Amino acid sequence: MIQLGKPPVQEVSIELISESSLGTSPSDIHKAAYSGQLYFMNGTWYIKYIEQEEEGQTNATVKVKEDEIVVIRNGLVSMRQSYRPGIKTSGSYVSLAGEMSMDTDTRDIRLHYDEEGYLTAAVWVYDLHLNEQNIGRYTVQCRLTRLSCNTY
């Protein structure tokens, strides 16, 4: 997918948009922007960034393949969750509020690439249950913009 001669690690700006809905309630939309890195290794795209909060920081990694997205967060929030269409997956979510079991039923994954073959967006849709309670359906968009490298 990536031709030789390209930098292995790309600096990227990351826009995360999470939309959740439960029943007939209006959707709740959360947007966040980060700076991070994108690289491709052994058939998997890796997106790495740091979520900075007043209470501390969380190191986040999103592993993206055609049929699976894995979100790993360590720090103020800790979690590891796999999203695979048609497969229910389990994990845990640990924050200052405590630990919860996390189950997801992934409905869809869509990946987008630019003309050079670099990942530009990953979108995944899933139903979320925390501690066996239905929290709602989530649509997460992770949009990536590669930053130009200035050489002097």
Write the pLDDT tens digit of every residue in 82-135: 999 999 999 999 998 899 999 999 999 999 999 999 999 999 999 999 999 999
This prediction's pTM: 0.89
Of 149 and 48, which is predicted with more confidence?
Answer: 48
Is 9-146 assigned to CATH 3.40.80.10? no
CA within 13 Å, CB half, 22: 7
Q: Is pLDDT of 4 > 80?
A: no
Measured in Å, how far apart are the chain's first and last C-alpha atoms?
A: 28
- Candidates 93, 57, 62, 101; CA nearest to 76 is 57
d(CA 79, CA 141): 18
Quote the tokens at residue 133: 């309670």
